Amino acid sequence: MFYRASLQAAAALATLSLLAGCGLLPGGGSEVDQKLAVGTTSEPSTLDPAAAWDGSWELMRNVFQTLVAFPTGSTKPEPDAAEECRFTDHTSTAYRCRLRKGLTFSNGDKLDAAAVKYSIDRISEIGLKRGPVGMLGSLDRVETKGDDVVIFNLKKPDATFPFVLATPAMSLVAPSAYSKHKIRDDGKVTGSGPYLLDSYKQGDRSELVKNPDYKGFADRKNDAVTIRYFKDSGAMVKALRKNEIDATYRGLSAEDVVSIEDSSTNGNDEGGDLQIVESTGADIRFLVFNPDDPAAGKPAVRRAIAQLVDRDALVAKVYRGTSEPLYSMVPKGIATHTTSFFDTFGNPSKDKARQILADAHITTPVPMTFWYTTDRYGSSTAPEFAELKRQLEASGLFRITLKSAPWKAFQDGFNNGDYPVFGRGWFPDFPDPDNFIAPFVGKKSVTGMPYVKDEITKQLLPESRKQSDRGAVAKEFERAQKILVDDVRLLPLWQGKLYVAAGEDIGGGERALDPQTVMQMWELYRKASW
């Protein structure tokens, strides 16, 4: 979802904020317990990579391998299960990988070229609508040469393909344990990653232990990790303060971040000797409008909403400085980012919005229903939508009904086209602006509704994908962002910052989030005391 220039900001990532104490040394003598517990509000929706295009990647990165991945600090995909990978032509249509020697899956099966081909072909064979098959649109076929060479032949030039292979969706699975025709749903994992999934209890926890047969770049600084799944940020932070968990990722509310920062700074007891690691975020939030809805399908209605939404007030009231306004689908910090929505609509204006609706002969107030998910993007989502409702209704031009659903039901709803307007989040699959445009357009948009824009899909994206120098694609992506503004089918709201909260005795938080903003559990460790 980004590329090299932008990744320097995202990979520079973290500044460690205020350790509340001293007398701690990094490292792990034998006397230090290196079994950690980490909390999150982002429970996996599946354990099968062929079905995963969401926060399930957090777990998968730690129990599976991909051919290439992003070590901490990297600016491009680096070999993991592969020993080396490269394009073999000048048109970026043939990508060749040679595997490390001696790789095995956790069931003892050999991880060879045939297993790699099986794993990637399986994604297309299953073709799950809400799965990652859409990321393989440029792939023609996978071929093998011997036991250790895999060649990906592409239908068309695609310099972003190595970034796709680096996503946890392209995790390698043991053919004997995964059907080529259906998703595995027995709650188990057979991979070759840094950890083994020792046990999994849905809605409760995943128990990870070191994989003794792992061969890859991950330098594991702990022995085992328990990932606990929480329904809300408050319960998670309470567990952190009571030392029931050692660290958190994904799902901290703005109030909890501010509280931990304030208590650490002031040295009071409420913070519980905690630290906060802040990382540059590329995750975004936006509204999606259903073109088949009687109200949301009218361009004037969408443009009026775009003219009314006050992003500054939204992030100030709800997110308290832990996010920032976003005026394009390509976020700040990613090369080619523009402020196209601000350039078009300027500051929020009731008068301009009223005129937009009047010119289209639309009777006000316009009744609309906005949907959001209750358990995917953190506990601030409900207050965010309450603030959007307040802003739109304060204009006298709209009457908003709010509805919500848990993530799995929410996915069904938007994929079925049931929602007039709904909120979505997007975490980067890979660090390139392509990933903030391509997934949302075309006949198989990740929003669940086709968004056919031929200029983007048939001209701008193909031209940009010929460029192996990802710094040379500004013209194409600036134009694509302008097209999205003209339609207002998608309305960007804000982009976030990422936070890891941890006890003061926990190290590695500043290195734990990779450029895809996925948690690398192996970077965390318990420090030895004096």
Give the pLDDT mean for 258-274: 70
Higher per-residue confidence, 514 vs 456: 456
Select from 186, 250, 224, 152 the least CA-distant residue to 48.
Answer: 186
Q: Report d(CA 512, CA 508) in Å as an integer.
A: 6
The pLDDT, as a whole number, for residue 272 is 57
Contacts of 17 (CB under 8 A, 6+ apart): 261, 264, 275, 276, 277, 278
Q: What percentage of the chain reaches a pLDDT higher than 90?
A: 73
Q: Whole-number mean pLDDT of the chain? A: 90
Q: Is the model's pLDDT at 23 over the cut of 50?
A: no
Task: Evaluate the CA torsion angle 244, 247, 248, 249 in order and state its sign.
Answer: negative
Beta bridge partners, 526, equal: 506
Task: Evaluate the CA torsion angle 58, 63, 64, 67 in order and state its sign.
Answer: positive
Q: Is the model's pLDDT at 4 over the cut of 60?
A: no
Residue type present at position 141: R
Q: Is the model's pLDDT at 422 over the cut of 50?
A: yes
Out of 20-24, 115-119, 172-176, 413-417, which region has the weakest mean confidence (pLDDT)? 20-24
- Given pLDDT bands bounded at 50, 70 and 90, which one contains residue 20? very low
Q: Is the model's pLDDT at 47 over the cut of 90?
A: yes
Alpha carbon 326 to its chain centroid, in Å, reads 17
Angstrom distances, CA of residue 135 to CA of 164, 328, 420, 435: 7, 22, 26, 9
Q: Is the model's pLDDT at 263 over the cut of 80?
A: no
Helix, strand or coil, per DSSP, at residue 350:
helix
The pLDDT, as a whole number, for residue 265 is 61
Give the pLDDT mean for 432-440: 92
pLDDT digits (tens, 9 = 90+) for 146-200: 999 999 999 999 999 999 999 999 999 999 999 999 999 999 999 999 999 999 9
Tokens of 38: 């980490």
Angstrom distances, CA of residue 2 to CA of 38, 255, 292, 331, 495: 27, 29, 31, 10, 14
The pLDDT, as a whole number, for residue 526 is 97
Out of 152-161, 262-271, 398-407, which region has the weakest mean confidence (pLDDT)? 262-271
The pLDDT, as a whole number, for residue 22 is 38
The pLDDT, as a whole number, for residue 264 is 66
Q: Report d(CA 283, CA 278) in Å as an integer.
A: 14
Higher per-residue confidence, 443 vs 212: 212
**Do residues 15 and 510 make contact, with C-beta atoms less than 8 angstroms apart?**
yes
The pLDDT, as a whole number, for residue 3 is 35
Residue type present at position 266: N
Out of 9-13, 109-113, 182-186, 315-319, which region has the weakest mean confidence (pLDDT)? 9-13
Higher per-residue confidence, 462 vs 333: 462
Q: What is the pTM of this model?
A: 0.78
Select from 415, 387, 386 the least CA-distant residue to 402.
Answer: 386
Residue type present at position 278: E
Q: Is the model's pLDDT at 432 over the cut of 70?
A: yes
Q: Is the model's pLDDT at 73 over the cut of 90?
A: no
Angstrom distances, CA of residue 64 to CA of 75, 216, 229: 21, 11, 20
The pLDDT, as a whole number, for residue 179 is 98
The pLDDT, as a whole number, for residue 246 is 98
Q: Is the model's pLDDT at 417 over the cut of 90?
A: yes
**Do residues 380 and 253 make contact, with C-beta atoms less than 8 angstroms apart?**
yes
> In terms of residues, how long is the chain?
530
Select from 527, 519, 423, 514 the least CA-distant residue to 77.
Answer: 514
Q: Is the model's pLDDT at 400 over the cut of 90?
A: yes
pLDDT digits (tens, 9 = 90+) for 322-353: 899 999 999 987 888 999 999 999 999 999 99
Task: Evaluate the CA torsion angle 109, 113, 117, 119 in order and state its sign.
Answer: positive
Backbone φ and ψ for 414, nearest 5 degrees, come out as -75, -30
Residue type present at position 394: A
The pLDDT, as a whole number, for residue 261 is 87
**Strand (E) positions, 320-365?**
323-325
The pLDDT, as a whole number, for residue 374 is 93
The pLDDT, as a whole number, for residue 134 is 82
Q: Report d(CA 517, CA 512) in Å as an integer.
A: 9
Q: Report d(CA 171, CA 48) in Å as an integer.
A: 9
Give the pLDDT mean for 287-311: 98
Select from 521, 515, 528, 527 the least CA-distant residue to 219.
Answer: 521
Out of 63-67, 68-72, 338-342, 344-348, which region has the weakest mean confidence (pLDDT)? 68-72
∠ Cα 518 524 527 (to 5°): 160
